[in-house]
Every structure is written in structure tokens, then in C-alpha cells.
């Protein structure tokens, strides 16, 4: 990724994603997690304070060594054991049916092949396992979507390939999940083109 992607961008994400404005969303998306959890796109551990007591272990999938270093203080204070294992959400190094739940917060926008990552998430969940997610993506209003399409090339260049126009719910459903709850809304602060949020949960049915 080069110096910017390796040493600068993780620090920007550490600051922006660690703001208190996101805390209520993190609390909501983590609610209901239990058992062995895989977090894809762990970043600098900003979800650690919101893991419920019912979570037994967390396996963190995170490509950035610097992000993992920045997570050190949160890891030291975590009530839940967290282990880093894997760096590519498109190719998870876990056996089928390993986890009770999976968590993704503002991650699917950046993974190059998000559809492949979602299929991998489903694969490593046990039957009946849940996927909890909060992501920004394609806005519900066409006038905002037009702006997203115009700005997306610049946004991707500056923010490590971050897409503005991914249809999150459609992508989760296409990966074979059954959507159990979903809410789409705009953040109260900031531009709508970057603040179209989808928060929800889905379950792995069948085998």
C-alpha cells in the first residue's frame, strides 16, 4: 500500500473511527453478540468496550500492523480475550463453522471483493450463527446517490479504496444470509453522501 497506506491512513482511521459520535452505533451493533466471535476489520479495537459479557472470545481479522499496535491500550483493558488471526477478509484462515457470530463495522466499504468476504464470513459461521454489521454505503435517496457516484473516485483514492455506493443489504443477502433486522439512516453530523448508514443483523440458515 505504500507509506501513506501503511503508516498514515491507519492513524487517520484510528482518530476518525474512534470519535464518540460512533459509540451509540457500536453499542447497538454489538448488542446480542455471544460465544466465539470473529471481527472482520478489527482496526484499532474501537469495538472492544462494547463487547457484551456473553462474548467468550474474539478473533480479530486485521491487515494493518499499525492498527493492531494502536489497539494495544484497548486490548490491555479488554474483558474479553482478543486474538489476531488472519489479515484478508476475502480468504479467512478458519475452518467451516468455527464461530457463533461475526461482526463488521465500517469494513465492507474498503475490502476489494466484499462479496467474497461476505461468503467467507458465512462459511466460517456455525448454522444459526449471526452476522452483525454497521456500514456506510449506497444512500436511500437518488439525489444523494448522484453525489456519491461523482465523489467516489476521489474518496477511494484518499481513504484506501473506501467505496461510497455499495448496497450493503443486497450484498449481505446475496451472500446467503437471512436478514433478521435492518435500519438505514443518515448520520446526524457530516455530509449525507458519506453518512448513509445501514445497521443490521443476519443469520446463517441451513448447513
Fold held by 2-204? Rossmann fold (3.40.50)
- In angstroms, the CA 151 to CA 193 distance is 9
Q: Domain segments of the chain: what residues?
A: 2-204
In 3D space, the residue among 109, 105, 99 whose CA is nearest the CA of residue 27 turns out to be 105
Question: Is pTM, for the whole model, over 0.75?
Answer: yes
Q: Is 5 exposed, middle or buried (0-12, 13-18, 19+ CB in 10 A)?
A: middle
Q: What confidence tens digit (pLDDT) does each residue in 103-120 have?
A: 999 999 999 999 999 999
Which parts of 77-131 fold into alpha helices (H)?
114-124
- In angstroms, the CA 54 to CA 138 distance is 33
C-alpha grid cell, residue 116: 467474497
Percent of the chain with pLDDT over 70: 90
Q: What confidence tens digit (pLDDT) does each residue in 40-96 have?
A: 999 999 999 999 999 999 999 999 999 999 999 999 999 999 999 988 999 999 999
Amino acid at each position: 500500500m505504500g507509506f501513506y497506506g501503511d503508516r498514515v491512513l491507519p492513524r487517520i482511521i484510528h482518530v476518525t473511527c474512534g470519535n464518540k459520535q460512533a459509540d451509540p452505533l457500536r453499542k447497538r451493533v454489538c448488542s446480542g453478540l455471544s460465544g466465539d466471535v470473529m471481527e472482520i476489520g478489527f482496526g484499532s479495537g474501537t469495538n472492544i468496550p462494547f463487547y457484551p459479557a456473553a462474548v467468550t472470545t474474539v478473533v480479530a481479522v486485521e491487515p494493518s500492523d499499525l492498527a493492531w499496535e494502536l489497539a494495544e491500550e484497548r486490548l490491555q483493558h479488554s474483558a474479553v480475550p482478543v486474538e489476531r488471526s488472519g489479515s484478508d477478509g476475502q480468504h479467512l484462515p478458519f475452518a467451516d463453522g468455527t464461530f457463533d457470530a461475526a461482526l463488521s463495522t465500517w469494513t465492507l466499504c474498503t475490502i476489494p471483493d466484499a462479496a467474497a468476504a461476505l461468503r467467507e464470513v458465512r462459511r466460517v459461521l456455525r448454522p444459526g450463527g449471526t452476522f452483525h454489521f454497521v456500514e456506510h454505503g449506497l444512500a436511500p435517496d437518488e439525489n444523494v446517490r448522484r453525489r456519491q457516484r461523482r465523489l467516489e473516485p476521489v474518496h477511494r483514492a484518499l481513504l484506501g479504496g473506501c467505496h461510497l455506493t455499495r448496497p450493503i443489504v443486497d450484498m449481505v443477502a446475496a451472500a446467503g444470509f437471512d436478514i433478521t433486522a435492518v435500519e438505514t439512516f443518515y448520520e446526524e453530523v457530516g455530509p449525507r453522501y458519506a453518512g448513509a448508514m445501514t445497521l443490521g443483523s443476519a443469520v446463517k440458515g441451513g448447513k
